[in-house]
A and B are shown apart, each in its own frame.
Chain A
Amino acid sequence: MNTTAAIRINEIRHHYGQREALGGVSLEVREGEILGLLGPNGSGKTTLFKLLATLMPIQAGSITVGEADAARQPAAVRAQLGVVFQSPSLDKKLRVEENLRHHGRLYGLSGGTLRTRIDQELERFGVADRRRDIVETLSGGLQRRAELAQAMLHRPRVLVLDEPSAGLDPAARSDLWRRLAAARAEGLTVIVTTHLLEEAERADRLAILDGGRVVADDTPAALRNSIGGDTLTLRTDEPEALAQAVRERLQREVSVIDRLVRLESDNAAADAAQLLAAFPDRISELTIGRPSLEDVFFSRTGKLFHD
Chain B
Amino acid sequence: MSPTTTYSPSLPVVLTLAERELVRFFRQRNRVIGGLVQPVLFWLLFSEGLRSNDLGYTHFFPGTLVMILLFTAIFATISIIEDRNEGFLQGVLVAPVTRWAMVLGKVLGGAAIALIQALLFLALGWATVAEIQPTPLSALAAVGGMTLLAIALTGLGLLIAWRMNSTQGFHAIMSIFLLPMWLLSGAFFRHGAEGWLGLAVMINPLTYGVAALRHRLTPLDAAGLPAEPLCWAVTGAFAAVMLVACWWVAGRE
Contacts and interface: CB of A to CB of B under 8 A. Distances in A.
Nearest to B95: A106
A140 B17 CA distance: 25
For this complex, into which size category does the number of interface residues on chain B fall? 20 to 34
B198 interface: no
Given A55-B93, A73-B1, A90-B88, A98 B23 contact: yes
A75 B7 contact: yes
B1 A93 contact: no
Contact of A106 (B16, B24, B85, B253): B16
Given A67-B1, A87-B87, A108 B8 contact: yes
B12 A105 contact: yes
B91 interface: yes
Contacts of B20: 91, 94, 98, 102
Given A73-B1, A78-B95, A78-B96, A89 B8 contact: no
Contacts of A85: 86, 90-91
Given A75-B7, A75-B96, A57 B12 contact: no
A305 to B, nearest CB: 26
Contacts of A57: 253
B3 A75 contact: yes
B109 to A, nearest CB: 11
Contact of B3 (A55, A72, A86, A106): A72
Interface string A90-121: 11111000110111011110100000000000
B92 interface: yes
Given A76-B6, A102-B17, A102-B20, A89 B1 contact: no
19 contacts: A53-B94, A73-B1, A73-B6, A75-B4, A76-B6, A78-B95, A78-B96, A79-B6, A83-B91, A87-B85, A87-B90, A89-B89, A92-B87, A94-B20, A94-B27, A106-B16, A106-B96, A107-B96, A108-B9
Interface of A: 53-57, 67-68, 72-76, 78-79, 81, 83, 85-94, 98-99, 101-103, 105-108, 110, 134, 150
Cβ-closest 5 pairs across A and B = A87-B86, A108-B8, A89-B91, A106-B95, A105-B16
